[in-house]
Amino acid sequence: MTDSLLVQLEERSYPIYFESIQSLLKKEVDQLEKENKTRFLVTDENLKATHSGYIKAMGFEESEIFVVPAGERSKSISVYKDLLSFLASNAANRDSVLFAFGGGVIGDLAGFAAASYLRGIHFYQIPTSLLAMVDSSVGGKTGINLPEGKNLVGAFWQPKAVFIDQALLETLPDNEFASGLAEVIKYGLISDKALFEQLAKIGEIKKDSKNLIDIIRRCCSIKAEVVSKDEQETASKDGRALLNLGHTFGHAIENVAGYGSYLHGEAISIGFYIASLLSENLNASFSSKDTAEVKKLLEQNGLPTSLKSPLSVELLNKAITRDKKNRASGIRYIIMKAIGDARTLEGVEPNLINDLWLKVGASEESH
Ligand code: GLY
Protein backbone atom coordinates (compact mmCIF):
# COMPACT_ATOMS: atom_id res chain seq x y z
CA MET A 1 0.00 0.00 0.00
CA THR A 2 1.24 3.51 -0.81
CA ASP A 3 2.36 5.55 2.18
CA SER A 4 -0.17 8.37 2.56
CA LEU A 5 -2.19 10.27 5.13
CA LEU A 6 -5.59 11.84 4.83
CA VAL A 7 -6.52 15.45 5.56
CA GLN A 8 -10.01 14.94 6.98
CA LEU A 9 -12.34 17.64 5.69
CA GLU A 10 -15.56 15.77 4.93
CA GLU A 11 -16.27 15.97 1.19
CA ARG A 12 -13.08 18.00 0.69
CA SER A 13 -10.81 15.37 2.31
CA TYR A 14 -7.63 14.56 0.38
CA PRO A 15 -4.53 12.39 0.60
CA ILE A 16 -0.91 13.43 1.02
CA TYR A 17 1.38 10.88 -0.65
CA PHE A 18 4.95 10.26 0.49
CA GLU A 19 6.32 7.61 -1.86
CA SER A 20 6.28 6.42 -5.49
CA ILE A 21 5.39 10.01 -6.34
CA GLN A 22 6.54 10.00 -9.97
CA SER A 23 4.53 6.93 -10.89
CA LEU A 24 1.47 8.20 -8.98
CA LEU A 25 1.64 11.51 -10.83
CA LYS A 26 2.00 9.80 -14.19
CA LYS A 27 -1.02 7.64 -13.37
CA GLU A 28 -3.05 10.71 -12.42
CA VAL A 29 -2.15 12.54 -15.65
CA ASP A 30 -2.91 9.42 -17.73
CA GLN A 31 -6.29 9.12 -16.02
CA LEU A 32 -7.13 12.76 -16.88
CA GLU A 33 -6.13 12.05 -20.46
CA LYS A 34 -8.46 9.04 -20.55
CA GLU A 35 -11.32 11.16 -19.20
CA ASN A 36 -10.63 13.83 -21.79
CA LYS A 37 -9.85 16.41 -19.08
CA THR A 38 -7.24 19.03 -19.90
CA ARG A 39 -4.42 19.66 -17.42
CA PHE A 40 -1.99 22.52 -16.91
CA LEU A 41 1.10 22.90 -14.77
CA VAL A 42 2.44 26.06 -13.11
CA THR A 43 6.11 26.31 -12.18
CA ASP A 44 8.96 28.84 -12.11
CA GLU A 45 11.88 29.39 -14.48
CA ASN A 46 14.47 27.79 -12.16
CA LEU A 47 12.42 24.70 -11.41
CA LYS A 48 11.50 24.31 -15.06
CA ALA A 49 15.20 24.28 -15.95
CA THR A 50 16.23 21.96 -13.10
CA HIS A 51 13.34 19.51 -13.25
CA SER A 52 12.37 19.47 -16.93
CA GLY A 53 12.86 15.66 -17.03
CA TYR A 54 10.61 15.19 -14.00
CA ILE A 55 7.85 17.39 -15.47
CA LYS A 56 8.09 15.65 -18.85
CA ALA A 57 7.96 12.22 -17.22
CA MET A 58 4.67 13.23 -15.59
CA GLY A 59 3.27 13.60 -19.11
CA PHE A 60 3.18 17.38 -19.61
CA GLU A 61 3.84 19.03 -22.94
CA GLU A 62 5.42 22.49 -23.27
CA SER A 63 2.12 24.09 -24.28
CA GLU A 64 0.51 22.92 -21.02
CA ILE A 65 3.13 24.57 -18.80
CA PHE A 66 2.85 28.13 -17.46
CA VAL A 67 6.24 29.40 -16.30
CA VAL A 68 6.64 32.41 -13.98
CA PRO A 69 9.79 34.22 -12.81
CA ALA A 70 11.24 32.66 -9.63
CA GLY A 71 10.53 34.51 -6.39
CA GLU A 72 7.89 36.24 -4.32
CA ARG A 73 7.24 38.88 -6.99
CA SER A 74 5.28 36.31 -8.99
CA LYS A 75 2.58 36.33 -6.31
CA SER A 76 1.24 39.49 -7.91
CA ILE A 77 -2.03 40.60 -9.47
CA SER A 78 -0.35 40.87 -12.87
CA VAL A 79 1.10 37.30 -12.89
CA TYR A 80 -2.22 36.01 -11.50
CA LYS A 81 -4.06 37.75 -14.34
CA ASP A 82 -1.63 36.28 -16.92
CA LEU A 83 -2.20 32.81 -15.48
CA LEU A 84 -5.99 33.21 -15.75
CA SER A 85 -5.58 34.42 -19.35
CA PHE A 86 -3.34 31.40 -20.08
CA LEU A 87 -6.10 29.10 -18.82
CA ALA A 88 -8.83 30.93 -20.72
CA SER A 89 -6.84 31.09 -23.97
CA ASN A 90 -6.22 27.33 -23.70
CA ALA A 91 -9.95 26.78 -23.30
CA ALA A 92 -9.59 25.38 -19.77
CA ASN A 93 -13.05 24.36 -18.56
CA ARG A 94 -14.67 23.23 -15.30
CA ASP A 95 -13.12 19.76 -15.69
CA SER A 96 -9.60 21.06 -16.26
CA VAL A 97 -7.02 20.47 -13.54
CA LEU A 98 -4.10 22.62 -12.43
CA PHE A 99 -0.84 21.20 -11.02
CA ALA A 100 1.31 23.45 -8.81
CA PHE A 101 4.95 22.36 -9.11
CA GLY A 102 7.06 24.52 -6.84
CA GLY A 103 7.49 26.15 -3.46
CA GLY A 104 5.09 28.34 -1.51
CA VAL A 105 4.89 31.07 -4.17
CA ILE A 106 3.79 28.65 -6.89
CA GLY A 107 1.38 26.78 -4.60
CA ASP A 108 -0.27 30.00 -3.40
CA LEU A 109 -0.52 31.52 -6.89
CA ALA A 110 -1.72 28.37 -8.68
CA GLY A 111 -4.06 27.54 -5.80
CA PHE A 112 -5.68 30.96 -5.96
CA ALA A 113 -6.04 30.74 -9.74
CA ALA A 114 -7.66 27.30 -9.25
CA ALA A 115 -9.94 28.72 -6.55
CA SER A 116 -11.17 31.58 -8.72
CA TYR A 117 -11.04 30.42 -12.37
CA LEU A 118 -14.63 29.54 -13.40
CA ARG A 119 -15.48 29.79 -9.68
CA GLY A 120 -13.12 26.96 -8.89
CA ILE A 121 -11.36 24.05 -10.60
CA HIS A 122 -9.43 21.11 -9.12
CA PHE A 123 -5.73 21.44 -8.33
CA TYR A 124 -2.84 19.31 -7.09
CA GLN A 125 0.17 20.37 -5.05
CA ILE A 126 3.67 19.04 -5.79
CA PRO A 127 5.78 21.00 -3.31
CA THR A 128 9.48 21.30 -4.15
CA SER A 129 10.70 23.17 -1.04
CA LEU A 130 10.77 21.90 2.53
CA LEU A 131 8.63 24.85 3.65
CA ALA A 132 5.95 24.01 1.08
CA MET A 133 6.10 20.29 1.97
CA VAL A 134 5.46 20.79 5.67
CA ASP A 135 3.35 23.93 5.60
CA SER A 136 2.01 25.84 2.61
CA SER A 137 0.97 22.92 0.36
CA VAL A 138 -1.27 21.46 3.06
CA GLY A 139 -4.38 23.18 4.41
CA GLY A 140 -5.79 25.13 1.49
CA LYS A 141 -4.53 28.67 2.10
CA THR A 142 -4.02 30.24 -1.33
CA GLY A 143 -3.41 33.82 -2.35
CA ILE A 144 -1.34 36.62 -3.78
CA ASN A 145 0.26 39.83 -2.48
CA LEU A 146 -0.76 43.46 -2.92
CA PRO A 147 1.74 46.36 -2.93
CA GLU A 148 0.27 47.12 0.54
CA GLY A 149 1.15 43.76 2.05
CA LYS A 150 1.63 40.02 1.71
CA ASN A 151 -1.24 37.55 1.18
CA LEU A 152 -3.89 40.26 1.34
CA VAL A 153 -6.00 38.58 -1.37
CA GLY A 154 -6.78 34.89 -1.34
CA ALA A 155 -9.14 32.04 -0.68
CA PHE A 156 -9.34 28.79 1.21
CA TRP A 157 -9.25 26.20 -1.56
CA GLN A 158 -8.16 22.68 -0.74
CA PRO A 159 -6.10 20.69 -3.25
CA LYS A 160 -7.31 17.28 -4.45
CA ALA A 161 -4.03 15.68 -3.34
CA VAL A 162 -0.50 16.60 -2.27
CA PHE A 163 2.52 14.64 -3.58
CA ILE A 164 5.68 14.88 -1.45
CA ASP A 165 8.92 13.65 -3.03
CA GLN A 166 12.02 14.05 -0.84
CA ALA A 167 14.20 13.68 -3.97
CA LEU A 168 13.02 17.14 -5.12
CA LEU A 169 14.86 18.68 -2.15
CA GLU A 170 18.26 17.71 -3.57
CA THR A 171 18.45 20.86 -5.69
CA LEU A 172 17.00 23.19 -3.01
CA PRO A 173 19.56 25.84 -1.91
CA ASP A 174 20.83 25.27 1.66
CA ASN A 175 19.43 28.52 3.04
CA GLU A 176 15.97 27.65 1.66
CA PHE A 177 16.23 24.24 3.27
CA ALA A 178 17.09 25.87 6.61
CA SER A 179 14.15 28.22 6.15
CA GLY A 180 11.85 25.18 5.86
CA LEU A 181 13.41 23.66 8.96
CA ALA A 182 12.07 26.60 10.94
CA GLU A 183 8.52 25.41 10.16
CA VAL A 184 9.53 21.84 11.06
CA ILE A 185 10.81 23.01 14.45
CA LYS A 186 7.56 24.96 14.89
CA TYR A 187 5.50 21.75 14.95
CA GLY A 188 7.64 20.44 17.79
CA LEU A 189 7.18 23.70 19.67
CA ILE A 190 3.40 23.96 19.28
CA SER A 191 2.29 20.39 19.79
CA ASP A 192 4.88 17.64 19.79
CA LYS A 193 7.55 17.54 22.47
CA ALA A 194 8.77 14.15 21.21
CA LEU A 195 9.37 15.66 17.75
CA PHE A 196 11.29 18.56 19.30
CA GLU A 197 13.41 16.09 21.27
CA GLN A 198 14.03 13.99 18.16
CA LEU A 199 15.18 17.13 16.29
CA ALA A 200 17.35 18.24 19.24
CA LYS A 201 18.98 14.81 19.29
CA ILE A 202 19.80 15.02 15.57
CA GLY A 203 21.08 18.59 16.03
CA GLU A 204 21.87 19.66 12.48
CA ILE A 205 19.15 18.26 10.21
CA LYS A 206 20.32 17.51 6.66
CA LYS A 207 18.57 17.18 3.30
CA ASP A 208 19.66 13.58 2.88
CA SER A 209 19.02 12.65 6.49
CA LYS A 210 17.51 9.16 6.67
CA ASN A 211 14.74 10.29 9.02
CA LEU A 212 13.75 13.35 7.05
CA ILE A 213 10.74 11.88 5.22
CA ASP A 214 9.34 10.57 8.53
CA ILE A 215 9.86 13.99 10.08
CA ILE A 216 8.07 15.66 7.12
CA ARG A 217 5.26 13.13 7.46
CA ARG A 218 4.94 13.88 11.18
CA CYS A 219 4.70 17.64 10.45
CA CYS A 220 2.04 17.04 7.78
CA SER A 221 0.03 14.88 10.14
CA ILE A 222 0.07 17.60 12.83
CA LYS A 223 -0.95 20.20 10.25
CA ALA A 224 -3.69 17.92 8.87
CA GLU A 225 -5.12 17.45 12.35
CA VAL A 226 -5.09 21.17 13.14
CA VAL A 227 -6.67 22.08 9.78
CA SER A 228 -9.36 19.39 10.12
CA LYS A 229 -10.50 20.96 13.39
CA ASP A 230 -10.32 24.64 12.38
CA GLU A 231 -10.10 24.83 8.58
CA GLN A 232 -10.64 28.59 8.24
CA GLU A 233 -8.93 29.73 11.44
CA THR A 234 -12.20 30.85 13.02
CA ALA A 235 -11.77 29.24 16.46
CA SER A 236 -12.01 31.90 19.15
CA LYS A 237 -8.86 30.52 20.77
CA ASP A 238 -6.01 28.17 19.86
CA GLY A 239 -6.98 26.15 16.72
CA ARG A 240 -5.27 26.88 13.41
CA ALA A 241 -3.89 30.16 14.78
CA LEU A 242 -1.34 28.11 16.75
CA LEU A 243 0.43 27.45 13.44
CA ASN A 244 1.34 31.13 13.58
CA LEU A 245 3.75 30.76 16.50
CA GLY A 246 6.43 33.44 16.07
CA HIS A 247 4.80 34.64 12.84
CA THR A 248 3.46 37.96 14.18
CA PHE A 249 7.05 38.94 15.02
CA GLY A 250 8.43 37.32 11.88
CA HIS A 251 5.99 39.10 9.55
CA ALA A 252 6.86 42.43 11.22
CA ILE A 253 10.58 41.79 10.63
CA GLU A 254 10.00 40.86 6.96
CA ASN A 255 7.85 43.95 6.49
CA VAL A 256 10.18 46.49 8.16
CA ALA A 257 13.44 45.03 6.78
CA GLY A 258 11.90 44.99 3.27
CA TYR A 259 10.61 41.79 1.67
CA GLY A 260 13.52 39.68 0.49
CA SER A 261 15.95 40.79 3.22
CA TYR A 262 15.03 37.78 5.34
CA LEU A 263 13.81 34.40 4.15
CA HIS A 264 10.47 33.63 5.79
CA GLY A 265 12.03 30.87 7.91
CA GLU A 266 14.78 33.23 9.12
CA ALA A 267 12.26 35.86 10.20
CA ILE A 268 10.03 33.37 12.04
CA SER A 269 13.09 31.81 13.67
CA ILE A 270 13.75 35.15 15.38
CA GLY A 271 9.99 35.13 16.07
CA PHE A 272 10.23 31.73 17.83
CA TYR A 273 13.00 33.04 20.04
CA ILE A 274 10.92 36.11 20.94
CA ALA A 275 7.87 33.87 21.55
CA SER A 276 10.02 31.76 23.90
CA LEU A 277 11.11 34.86 25.83
CA LEU A 278 7.47 36.01 25.97
CA SER A 279 6.37 32.58 27.20
CA GLU A 280 9.08 32.67 29.87
CA ASN A 281 7.88 36.11 30.97
CA LEU A 282 4.20 35.23 31.13
CA ASN A 283 4.17 31.83 32.72
CA ALA A 284 6.35 30.13 35.23
CA SER A 285 6.16 26.73 33.58
CA PHE A 286 8.22 27.82 30.54
CA SER A 287 11.77 28.21 31.83
CA SER A 288 14.93 29.94 30.65
CA LYS A 289 16.27 26.41 30.05
CA ASP A 290 13.44 25.85 27.54
CA THR A 291 14.30 29.13 25.80
CA ALA A 292 17.97 28.10 25.66
CA GLU A 293 17.03 24.73 24.09
CA VAL A 294 14.90 26.43 21.43
CA LYS A 295 17.71 28.88 20.66
CA LYS A 296 20.29 26.11 20.43
CA LEU A 297 18.26 24.01 17.96
CA LEU A 298 17.53 27.03 15.75
CA GLU A 299 21.19 28.08 15.68
CA GLN A 300 22.42 24.52 15.04
CA ASN A 301 20.35 24.64 11.87
CA GLY A 302 21.73 27.93 10.62
CA LEU A 303 18.68 29.92 11.71
CA PRO A 304 19.06 33.38 13.31
CA THR A 305 17.83 34.39 16.77
CA SER A 306 18.70 38.07 16.44
CA LEU A 307 18.29 40.74 13.76
CA LYS A 308 20.98 41.02 11.06
CA SER A 309 21.00 44.77 11.61
CA PRO A 310 18.93 46.94 13.96
CA LEU A 311 15.33 47.75 13.00
CA SER A 312 13.21 50.38 14.74
CA VAL A 313 11.02 49.11 17.60
CA GLU A 314 8.42 51.73 16.65
CA LEU A 315 8.21 50.49 13.05
CA LEU A 316 8.18 46.85 14.12
CA ASN A 317 5.27 47.55 16.49
CA LYS A 318 3.41 49.47 13.79
CA ALA A 319 3.84 46.49 11.48
CA ILE A 320 2.41 44.21 14.19
CA THR A 321 -0.74 46.31 14.43
CA ARG A 322 -1.22 45.98 10.66
CA ASP A 323 -0.82 42.18 10.67
CA LYS A 324 -3.71 40.61 8.76
CA LYS A 325 -4.15 38.03 11.50
CA ASN A 326 -5.29 40.66 14.02
CA ARG A 327 -8.89 40.48 15.17
CA ALA A 328 -11.31 43.11 16.44
CA SER A 329 -10.33 41.99 19.93
CA GLY A 330 -6.71 42.98 19.30
CA ILE A 331 -3.35 41.37 18.65
CA ARG A 332 -3.29 37.66 19.27
CA TYR A 333 0.07 36.22 20.34
CA ILE A 334 0.99 32.55 20.59
CA ILE A 335 2.86 31.48 23.70
CA MET A 336 4.05 28.13 24.98
CA LYS A 337 3.08 26.63 28.33
CA ALA A 338 5.85 24.16 27.66
CA ILE A 339 7.74 22.93 24.60
CA GLY A 340 5.04 21.07 22.65
CA ASP A 341 2.10 22.91 24.21
CA ALA A 342 1.10 26.30 22.73
CA ARG A 343 -1.82 28.68 23.41
CA THR A 344 -3.24 31.87 21.91
CA LEU A 345 -3.18 34.93 24.16
CA GLU A 346 -4.62 38.43 23.85
CA GLY A 347 -4.02 41.52 25.96
CA VAL A 348 -0.21 41.38 26.18
CA GLU A 349 1.34 44.59 27.60
CA PRO A 350 2.94 46.57 24.71
CA ASN A 351 5.93 47.48 26.92
CA LEU A 352 6.80 43.84 27.31
CA ILE A 353 6.95 43.48 23.53
CA ASN A 354 9.24 46.54 23.32
CA ASP A 355 11.71 44.90 25.71
CA LEU A 356 11.71 41.70 23.69
CA TRP A 357 12.44 43.55 20.45
CA LEU A 358 15.44 45.17 22.15
CA LYS A 359 16.67 41.72 23.23
CA VAL A 360 16.93 40.60 19.58
CA GLY A 361 18.83 43.70 18.49
CA ALA A 362 16.10 46.21 17.57
CA SER A 363 16.75 49.87 18.17
CA GLU A 364 14.78 52.50 20.10
CA GLU A 365 15.76 55.18 17.59
CA SER A 366 13.12 55.79 14.95
CA HIS A 367 14.44 55.48 11.40
N1 GLY B 1 0.81 28.56 7.58
C2 GLY B 1 -0.21 28.62 8.54
C3 GLY B 1 -1.48 27.98 8.11
O4 GLY B 1 -1.52 27.29 7.12
O5 GLY B 1 -2.48 28.14 8.78
- The whole-number pLDDT of residue 22 equals 95
The pLDDT confidence band at residue 246, using thresholds 50, 70 and 90, is very high
State what percent of residues in the chain have pLDDT above 70. 98
CB of 80 closer than 8 Å to CB of 109:
yes
The pLDDT confidence band at residue 330, using thresholds 50, 70 and 90, is confident
Question: How far, in Å, from the CA of 203 to the mean position of ligand 1?
Answer: 25
- The whole-number pLDDT of residue 260 equals 85
Q: Whose CA is nearest to atom 3 of ligand 1?
A: 243
What is the mean pLDDT of the segment spanning 4-12? 96
Question: Is the pLDDT reported for residue 323 higher than 80?
Answer: no
Question: How far, in Å, from the CA of 134 to the mean position of ligand 1?
Answer: 10
- The whole-number pLDDT of residue 367 equals 60
Question: How far, in Å, from the CA of 230 to the mean position of ligand 1?
Answer: 11
Q: Which of 131, 156, 234, 240 for a ligand 1 pocket mutation test, highest count of atoms within 8 Å of Cβ? A: 240
Q: What is the pLDDT of residues 134-172, one digit of tens each?
A: 999 999 999 999 987 889 999 999 999 999 999 999 999
- Which carries the bigger pLDDT value, residue 366 or residue 315? 315
User: How far is 143 from 153, CA to CA, in rounded Å?
Assistant: 6
Ligand 1 atom having least distance to the Cα of 135: 1
Is the CB of 131 within 6 Å of ligand 1?
no
Helix (H) or strand (E) holding 249: helix 247-257
Question: How far, in Å, from the CA of 1 to the mean position of ligand 1?
Answer: 29
Question: Is the pLDDT reported for residue 327 higher than 80?
Answer: no
- Which residue ranges form the domains of the chain, and what is each CATH number? 4-171 (3.40.50.1970), 174-359 (1.20.1090.10)
User: How far is 242 from 329, CA to CA, in rounded Å?
Assistant: 17
E-strand spans in the chain?
A: 4-7, 14-17, 39-44, 65-68, 97-102, 122-127, 141-146, 149-156, 161-163, 332-338, 341-346
Ligand 1 atom having least distance to the Cα of 139: 4
Q: Which of 138, 219, 243, 268 for a ligand 1 pocket mutation test, highest count of atoms within 8 Å of Cβ? A: 243
Question: How far, in Å, from the CA of 141 to the mean position of ligand 1?
Answer: 7
Question: Is the pLDDT reported for residue 1 higher than 70?
Answer: no
Range with the lowest mean pLDDT among 98-107, 145-154, 175-184, 237-246?
145-154
Question: How far, in Å, from the CA of 242 to the mean position of ligand 1?
Answer: 9
User: How far is 289 from 189, CA to CA, in rounded Å?
Assistant: 14
Question: Is the pLDDT reported for residue 328 higher than 80?
Answer: no
What is the mean pLDDT of the segment spanning 344-354? 93
The pLDDT confidence band at residue 322, using thresholds 50, 70 and 90, is confident
Q: Which residues contact 181 (CB under 8 A, 6 or more apart)?
A: 130, 205, 265, 301, 303
Question: Is the pLDDT reported for residue 209 higher than 90?
Answer: no
Q: What are phi and psi of 225, to 5 degrees?
A: -65, -45
Is the CB of 243 within 6 Å of ligand 1?
yes
Range with the lowest mean pLDDT among 79-83, 147-151, 227-231, 357-361?
147-151
What is the mean pLDDT of the segment spanning 235-247? 96
Is the CB of 135 within 6 Å of ligand 1?
yes
What is the mean pLDDT of the segment spanning 173-194? 97
User: How far is 164 from 312, CA to CA, in rounded Å?
Assistant: 40
Q: Whose CA is nearest to atom 2 of ligand 1?
A: 243
What is the mean pLDDT of the segment spanning 236-246? 96
Is the CB of 265 within 6 Å of ligand 1?
no
Is the CB of 141 within 6 Å of ligand 1?
yes
Question: How far, in Å, from the CA of 85 to the mean position of ligand 1?
Answer: 28
What is the mean pLDDT of the segment spanning 203-208? 93
Ligand 1 atom having least distance to the Cα of 183: 1
Is the CB of 139 within 6 Å of ligand 1?
yes
What is the mean pLDDT of the segment spanning 35-40? 98
Q: Which residues contact 359 (CB under 8 A, 6 or more apart)?
A: 274, 277
Q: Average model confidence (pLDDT) for the chain?
A: 95
Is the CB of 192 within 6 Å of ligand 1?
no
What is the mean pLDDT of the segment spanning 59-71? 97
- The whole-number pLDDT of residue 109 equals 98
Alpha carbon dihedral 179, 184, 190, 196, in 10-degree steps, equals -120
Ligand 1 atom having least distance to the Cα of 223: 4
